[in-house]
Amino acid sequence: MRKRILFVLTMVLGWMNTIAAEQPPIRISTNETDLILSVAPNGRLYQGYLGKRLSNESDVANFSYYAPAGLGGSNTSRGWETYPGSGAEDYFEPAFAITHNDGNMTTVLTYVSSEIEKIDNNVTQTIIYLKDKVYPIDVTLHYISYGKENVIKSWSEIKHSGKKPVTIWRYASNMLYFENARYFLTEFSGDWAKEVNMSSQELQFGKKIIDTKLGARAAMHTYPFFELGLDGIPRENEGEVLLGTLGWTGNFQFTFEVDNAGNLRVISGINPYASMYELKPNEIFKTPEFIFTLSSCGTGKASRDIHDWARQYQLKDGKGDRLTLLNNWEATYFNFDEKKLEGLMKEAESLGVDMFLLDDGWFANKYPRENDRAGLGDWEVNRSKLPNGIPHLVKSAAEAGVKFGIWIEPEMVNPKSELLEKHPEWAIRLPNRETYYFRNQLVLDLSNPVVQDYVFGVVDKIMIENPNIAYFKWDCNSPITNVYSPYLKDKQNQLYIDHVRGVYNVFERVKEKYPNVPMMLCSGGGARCDYEALKYFTEFWCSDNTDPIERLYIQWGYSHFFPVKSMAAHVTSWNKDTSIKFRTDVAMMCKLGFDINLKEMDEKELSYCQNAVANYNRMKPVILDGDFYRLVSPYEANHTAVMHVSKTKEKAVLYAYDIHPRYGEKLLPVKLQGLEPSKNYKVEEINLMPGTTSRLGENDKIYSGDYLMKVGLKAFTNGQINSRIIEITQQ
């Protein structure tokens, strides 16, 4: 009997190998990029090619199997395995690792079959099925390619059909290989109020890892995206560069490993730190989506492709409009009452913005939310501040002529709250050690479905009681501290992952029930900014640092991955050494809002702001949905400039900022991009302070697109902290 089974198994495996050998290379393409995977004679799947799209279909067959130099050629199974398991002949970081029931820690995945599905004229999905011949493990690789946007998104699904649970301890979303002379990484790092600082380095032999272990406010120190220069440090308008980002709102990890042969592998996925995950029989472990684009003309083009893709396919209401607003956070902090808020609503209307946004401090009674030490979790309106409740505020806003939005932070709790008194078991914290608090609060245990119901209920209750609420700002101010889930008991190693999945369950339910309510994702500034969360949010808060000079760098950094319509930017009182004009001109580059006491402004400043809001509203289609060009980097000059160009190229807006020009500095013209060379454009400075006129030499004149792109505009000045916004209109 045993012999017969063995015989059948051998036949099946032999047959699988035959399929493998006959399987032509799998081509995953956009209009500009090819990723070619091929099944080798050993039945395993390898990366044959990743680069510019090949012109001739017949050349694809050349990649039937490819072993890069230094890895022993085609008579060895060492090569660029697409999803390498652990413990076989590959000596570097695996994409996948599992401990089988018998304690064996090796996995070798072989190709079973693949499917290609054309979703529409632009989007194609490729699914590849792999399995281990010795253990009942199935891995499915998914690739979705977006032709026009030149973006590929990929993830994997892991399953086993054994009798008992197994433990997986590596579960990458994707692995890519490069064979270049040198590799340069641009990473984004920061902290509260100093988000997305860009720095570049050459990768040398060994590993460079970018990861976070912060759990909830996960991107506080580093961000889930990177740029990889394949022929030098990533540059704006030239050079081969890969932009990659992971859609995961928790612990993520990017590993860049240069091997003995000088080849590079890039592994992207959830950070497996403290997360050996127990997989039950037939349960599917779906990894987050890794999204990438490959550009052969620099980061500018790559960013524009990602912006287009995000607006079209990923961001909540990506193609829709965005609301301008007045937020009360910096004007009042926790210190407000109905009268004060009603005054602000009227100010919002006089400013011309669409909405008033009520921030932190409106809730909790037993432990009133007077500061950040109490009340979080008790989502009943604070009766002494707001005796007539939220419905009254929504009504007052409508009477003032603006919409009403509201702040919540439903995933968190203060120890001083009725919620924690009632449900001490709902918070993530250690039962047997002193508790550490970040901003005096704890993270609720979203791995617990009952807690998920509660968090969903926070939004649901507000919406049921106030169906006219037009907007939510959803905050998250603490990383996971005291890492212990009372719910998961002896499965603590699943907390980091199950918690994030719990967060997504809530986001999903909110989106399903309230699909049309715009939402801002906030995390004590910009510590949550990934493309999975942004399926549920229309925008994110880039930073609590609204000093306009700092913002020039912060917005420059985020714009590498996010379209400006997703980047909330407010005019505030940070850095009063800068003018209201400068502060507004900086915020106007993104999704405009105000968070400032209008009483601080004199008549001219207020009138300037009203005019700026009107200009913004008029130019919203270009700003929010146009192509974004980074023209002069604040990292490289004492000035910076960017521009938006409408898709039709009929309208453009140029933003030029002088930060700290040196005495007598030579000023170079700003060369524009993206215009129609053969068309003429009128150049007109807008957003001028009342009583001033433009001193731009080219103001009110007409130039060809060719001239503006080759010669440029003398838009910079020798003034300190000076700004110009220039409207460019095709004639």
Of positions 290, 407, 553, 716, contacts ligand DGJ by CB under 6 A: 407
The minimum distance between CB 728 and ligand DGJ, in angstroms, equals: 34
Nearer to ligand DGJ, 249 or 314 (CB): 249
* Region class of 440: left (phi > 0), else alpha (psi between -120 and 50), else beta: left
Contact 722, 614 (CB under 8 A): no
d(CA 295, CA 152): 12
Q: Kindly indicate which of the ranges 161-169, 522-530, 643-651, 723-731 contains the residues binding ligand DGJ, using the contact rule CB under 6 A.
A: 522-530
Nearer to ligand DGJ, 475 or 698 (CB): 475
Nearer to ligand DGJ, 359 or 658 (CB): 359
Q: Which of residues 468-497 bind ligand DGJ (CB under 6 A)?
A: 475, 477
End-to-end CA distance of the chain: 85
The minimum distance between CB 546 and ligand DGJ, in angstroms, equals: 9
Nearer to ligand DGJ, 144 or 406 (CB): 406
Q: Kindly indicate which of the ranges 92-100, 268-276, 518-526, 723-731 contains the residues binding ligand DGJ, using the contact rule CB under 6 A.
A: 518-526
Nearer to ligand DGJ, 138 or 544 (CB): 544
Q: Which of residues 315-354 bind ligand DGJ (CB under 6 A)?
A: 329
Cβ contacts of 688 within 8 Å, gap of 6 or more: 608, 694
CA geometry: angle 92, 97, 98, nearest 5 deg: 155
| Long-range contacts of the stretch 620-624 (C-beta < 8 A, 24+) | 620/321, 620/322, 621/646, 621/651, 622/646, 622/651, 622/652, 622/653, 623/564, 623/565, 623/588, 623/589, 623/653, 624/321, 624/322, 624/563, 624/564, 624/565, 624/591
Q: If binding is defined by CB under 6 A, does position 183 make contact with ligand DGJ?
A: no
d(CA 356, CA 539): 16
Nearer to ligand DGJ, 289 or 475 (CB): 475
Nearer to ligand DGJ, 150 or 477 (CB): 477
Q: Kindly indicate which of the ranges 239-247, 307-315, 519-527, 648-656 contains the residues binding ligand DGJ, using the contact rule CB under 6 A.
A: 519-527
Could you count the other beta carbons within 10 Å of the beta carbon of residue 127?
A: 15
Nearer to ligand DGJ, 185 or 331 (CB): 331
Give the amino acid at 671.
K
- Please give the backbone phi and psi of residue 62, each rounded to the nearest 5 degrees, phi first: -60, -15
The minimum distance between CB 334 and ligand DGJ, in angstroms, equals: 8
Strand-by-strand arrangement of the 33-39 sheet: 26-29, 33-39, 45-52
Nearer to ligand DGJ, 34 or 359 (CB): 359
The minimum distance between CB 466 and ligand DGJ, in angstroms, equals: 19
Nearer to ligand DGJ, 241 or 390 (CB): 390
The position carrying tokens 């012109």 is 55
The minimum distance between CB 217 and ligand DGJ, in angstroms, equals: 10
Q: Among positive and negative, which fits the CA dihedral 40, 42, 44, 47? A: negative
The minimum distance between CB 524 and ligand DGJ, in angstroms, equals: 5
Which 8-state DSSP code applies to residue 311? I
Q: Which of residues 532-571 bind ligand DGJ (CB under 6 A)?
A: 541, 544
Q: Which of residues 702-731 bind ligand DGJ (CB under 6 A)?
A: none
Contact 414, 441 (CB under 8 A): yes
Q: Kindly indicate which of the ranges 238-246, 492-500, 521-529, 659-667 contains the residues binding ligand DGJ, using the contact rule CB under 6 A.
A: 521-529
Nearer to ligand DGJ, 44 or 473 (CB): 473
d(CA 460, CA 449): 16
The minimum distance between CB 246 and ligand DGJ, in angstroms, equals: 23
Q: Quick one: 214 exposed, middle or buried, by C-beta within 10 A (0-12, 13-18, 19+)?
A: buried
The minimum distance between CB 473 and ligand DGJ, in angstroms, equals: 6
CA geometry: angle 551, 552, 557, nearest 5 deg: 90
Contact 564, 590 (CB under 8 A): yes
Contact 400, 346 (CB under 8 A): yes
Closest-by-Cβ residue to ligand DGJ is 360
If DSSP codes are grouped into helix, strand and coil, which group holds residue 313?
Answer: helix
Nearer to ligand DGJ, 407 or 507 (CB): 407
Q: Kindly indicate which of the ranges 206-214, 458-466, 499-507, 517-525 contains the residues binding ligand DGJ, using the contact rule CB under 6 A.
A: 517-525
Of positions 267, 480, 503, 522, contacts ligand DGJ by CB under 6 A: 522
The minimum distance between CB 185 and ligand DGJ, in angstroms, equals: 29
Site string for ligand DGJ, 352-381 (x = CB under 6 A): -------xx---------------------
Give the interface size with ligand DGJ as a residue count (CB under 6 A).
11
Residue 39 to residues 18, 358, 484, 605, Cα–Cα distance (Å): 11, 57, 44, 66
The minimum distance between CB 529 and ligand DGJ, in angstroms, equals: 12
The minimum distance between CB 337 and ligand DGJ, in angstroms, equals: 18
Nearer to ligand DGJ, 458 or 619 (CB): 458
Contact 271, 220 (CB under 8 A): no
Nearer to ligand DGJ, 522 or 631 (CB): 522
Nearer to ligand DGJ, 254 or 329 (CB): 329
The minimum distance between CB 482 and ligand DGJ, in angstroms, equals: 21
Q: Which of residues 213-272 bind ligand DGJ (CB under 6 A)?
A: none
The minimum distance between CB 655 and ligand DGJ, in angstroms, equals: 24
Nearer to ligand DGJ, 193 or 688 (CB): 193
Q: How long is the chain?
A: 731
The minimum distance between CB 213 and ligand DGJ, in angstroms, equals: 21
The minimum distance between CB 461 and ligand DGJ, in angstroms, equals: 20
d(CA 661, CA 456): 51
Of positions 318, 377, 524, 674, contacts ligand DGJ by CB under 6 A: 524
206-211 and 225-229 strand pairing? unpaired
Cβ contacts of 82 within 8 Å, gap of 6 or more: 37, 45, 46, 47, 95, 128, 141, 175
Q: Kindly indicate which of the ranges 15-23, 244-252, 445-453, 520-528 contains the residues binding ligand DGJ, using the contact rule CB under 6 A.
A: 520-528
The minimum distance between CB 437 and ligand DGJ, in angstroms, equals: 15
Q: Among positive and negative, which fits the CA dihedral 156, 157, 163, 169? A: positive
Applying CB under 6 A, the residues found at the interface with ligand DGJ are: 329, 359-360, 407, 475, 477, 522, 524-525, 541, 544
